[in-house]
Chains A and B, each alone.
Chain A
Amino acid sequence: MKQDFKAAGARPAPLRKKSVVDRVNGAARKLPAWAVYIVGLLPVPWMFYLAQTGGYGPDPVKGLEHALGQWALQLLIAGLAITPLRRFAGINLIKFRRALGLLAFAYVSLHLTVWIALDMGLFWAQMLGDVIKRPYITIGMTGFLCLIPLALTSNNRSIRKLGPKWRSLHKLVYLAVLLGGIHFIWLVKGVQLEPLIYMAVILALLAVRLPHFAKVRA
């Protein structure tokens, strides 16, 4: 009996895990990065369709604005998960990271455009006041500004040109996603669970980058 146990325990658990990881990595190798752009942009026409056909209820402006903002935050979080996934699980999705980042920027830009044009109705003076005076808008806008240089340098030429500086510059995404999470917490009334869950995930993904965790390698 003891021997059986040992035999069972010795069965190749690492091998089984590896095969799942292998399958994911294999599928990822076959999937071209441009497919991620296409799939990632599909929700946009769908959102506008919902907004025009009552899918967001009586207030399509807020529905659209929030859906875009939430997708932006989710894409930023997905981008943040790429490195830990490789380091701790051996899953290599790094070739999709640029697509996730640029998609996130596209969603943030659309989110901002909807706010400016549809939510604020081009009331520029009031918008300016809001950006300066209202912390959650100030924070959201700062996050957007952080993303601009990152989007502009998300190409091979910039990586070559900037060299090691590129890596330092793109650490700005940590700040941007943090600001996005705070923006979400701050804009809801009262204490609500959903934005706190987002923040917990963001903090966890940032924490594993701290030196203590970074030493651990799978």
Chain B
Amino acid sequence: MFKRFDGDARQPVEIFVDGRPVMAREGDTVSAALLASGLDVRRQTAVSGAPRLPYCMMGVCFDCLVTIDGMGNRQGCLVPVRPGMQVEIQKGKREIGR
């Protein structure tokens, strides 16, 4: 769907998506890094389990919901990546306690 522009000279930042290492760039949001990763990062909705990807990328649609460092229902499009960040693709509802 998306590729990185060739002239992007930002520092790489390693994050983990469901345990797999993914190379993001400094300044990426989690959702941008996921979209650029080429991995299947579709979440499943809480209501029907339908597959979704981010829709608005500006904090209003909540289709980018993702578990970040053990906390569920984070808006991936608003959270910047940090080295070593653990991202889990959310399947269904947020679990109690995370």
Q: Do A and B bind each other?
A: no
B residues in contact (CB < 8 Å) with A: none
